[in-house]
Structure 1
């Protein structure tokens, strides 16, 4: 607005020099991507843990992204040998430690494994599609990009919801270490806005 005002004033010879010339506007900091509301998160959780009509691949990808901040690559690369039934943990991507799965996530994983057993395949990956059942490669990026289409929310939005929550309630460096991310990568999830429902005085009401 100021640039337009002073530009007009100079054209009308009201001023000799445009004081805004050469100035650049700094982009505001903080995360500005889309995230899910708490109601939307509950809706998706119920869909993936209590609705047998959701495809097992959708449910697994969705629940790992929603509760554990898993990326598409981490889910694509997940193999049978990454699962420890004794401790109910999985190894995801470059994360330094196995990820403990809550009972709901573990149940969703078991459902996906049961679906996998229906394929006559030697593919070592958990998520096996028609195009990969006869080989040993992971599902394609394109396949994963559409795995959540039926739920109505894109994978990035679901994962960002979890990362924004973690980064803004914990030390970003600790989050980076736990998720196997570069420290700089977690800083983009710092938000300028905090959901009022997360404020201590609001939680006590």
Structure 2
């Protein structure tokens, strides 16, 4: 949900810590983003399910995503884990993020998107669609 709705990258998901969750404000601090990300009810419920799962594992790992391999350690989930966690659904975290970034770029200025997601301005260029929405272009004099 964080990748699909909030364009969270694999790195942001891997390194998300329990201390990054603001329960009273229902928001999370993702990576190097300039502001905490407010969460919609569905994403908040999914995050709560992850946190509840962590509780049943009785782990001291500070990360939200804990696997059998990281339960007894302090390390984040592996890159491979996040690459394959959604295989049964036939989608990848990277694809969900790319879909959201592309959608944001279709509606907003690329500089705003880059700033909000803590990306380089050049980093969003790969997500820009090849077709041009002529309705957004200024009229030719």
Fold match by TM threshold 0.5: yes
The reply on whether 1:70 has 2:8 as its aligned counterpart is: yes
Q: Which residue is 1:23 aligned to?
A: none
Q: Which residue is 2:64 aligned to?
A: 126
Q: Which residue is 1:99 aligned to?
A: 37
Q: Which residue is 2:54 aligned to?
A: 116
- Structure 1 runs of 4+ aligned residues shifted over 6 Å read none
Change (3 A) 1:194 1:154: farther
Q: Which residue is 1:142 aligned to?
A: 80
- Which region of structure 1 is more displaced relative to structure 2, 151-160 or 85-94? 151-160
The reply on whether 1:163 has 2:101 as its aligned counterpart is: yes
Counterpart-to-counterpart distance in 2, 1:114 and 1:77: 18
Distance apart, 1:149 and its partner CA? 0.6
Counterpart-to-counterpart distance in 2, 1:179 and 1:144: 19
Counterpart-to-counterpart distance in 2, 1:194 and 1:68: 24
Distance apart, 1:181 and its partner CA? 0.3
Change (3 A) 1:194 1:85: farther
**1:85 paired residue among 3, 18, 23:** 23
Distance apart, 1:134 and its partner CA? 0.7
Counterpart-to-counterpart distance in 2, 1:156 and 1:137: 21
Unpaired segments ≥5 residues, structure 2: 136-141
**1:179 paired residue among 82, 96, 117:** 117
CA RMSD in angstroms comes to 1.5
Larger RCO of the pair (alpha carbons < 8 Å, separation 6+): 2
Aligned residue for 2:127, secondary structure, equals: coil
Q: Under a length normalisation based on structure 1, what TM-score does the superposition of the two structures give?
A: 0.63
Q: Which residue is 1:19 aligned to?
A: none
Distance apart, 1:153 and its partner CA? 1.2
Distance apart, 1:157 and its partner CA? 1.6
Aligned residue for 2:57, secondary structure, equals: coil
Counterpart-to-counterpart distance in 2, 1:193 and 1:115: 43
Aligned residue for 1:188, secondary structure, equals: helix
Q: How many residues align?
A: 134
Unpaired segments ≥5 residues, structure 1: 1-62, 200-205
Distance apart, 1:194 and its partner CA? 7.3
Counterpart-to-counterpart distance in 2, 1:183 and 1:64: 21
